[in-house]
């Protein structure tokens, strides 16, 4: 199973998510924003779709990609959980360091 944060962290895929935050777009429209091939962008979009961050609809010859609200909410939850844990640890470490400095200052 693919890791949602890992998939979203890759720079090209992260940029695709930012572009799709503006609204639906075709692969061709999205690919025009990158120095890589249209095929490479399609592969990134397929991976984003596999983890549920984007979806596509077909209209004639074009596929229109858009952000998936539920997938983006899951990504946000994972990101928030990561930072909550990390920030709690940072506060604990800072408090411990402060206590050690106060104790050493009393000596």
Whole-model pTM? Answer: 0.75
Distance CA 59, CA 81 (A): 38
Q: Mean pLDDT of all residues in the chain?
A: 89
Strands (E), the chain: 25-26, 54-59, 62-67
pLDDT of residue 107: 52
Distance CA 75, CA 80 (A): 9
Task: Give tens-digit pLDDT for 57-83.
Answer: 999 999 999 999 999 999 999 888 877
Distance CA 33, CA 31 (A): 5
Map out the domains of the chain with their CATH numbers. Answer: 4-106 (1.10.10.10)
């Amino acid at each position: 199973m693919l890791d949602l944060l890992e998939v979203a962290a890759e720079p090209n895929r992260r940029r695709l998510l930012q572009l799709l935050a503006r609204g639906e777009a075709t692969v061709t429209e999205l690919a025009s924003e990158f120095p890589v091939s249209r095929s490479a962008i399609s592969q990134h979009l397929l991976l984003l779709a596999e983890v549920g961050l984007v979806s596509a609809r077909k209209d004639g010859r074009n596929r229109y990609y858009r952000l998936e609200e539920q997938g983006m909410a899951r990504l946000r939850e994972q990101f928030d959980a990561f930072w909550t844990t990390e920030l709690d640890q940072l506060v604990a470490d800072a408090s411990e360091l402060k206590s050690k400095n106060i104790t050493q200052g009393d000596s």
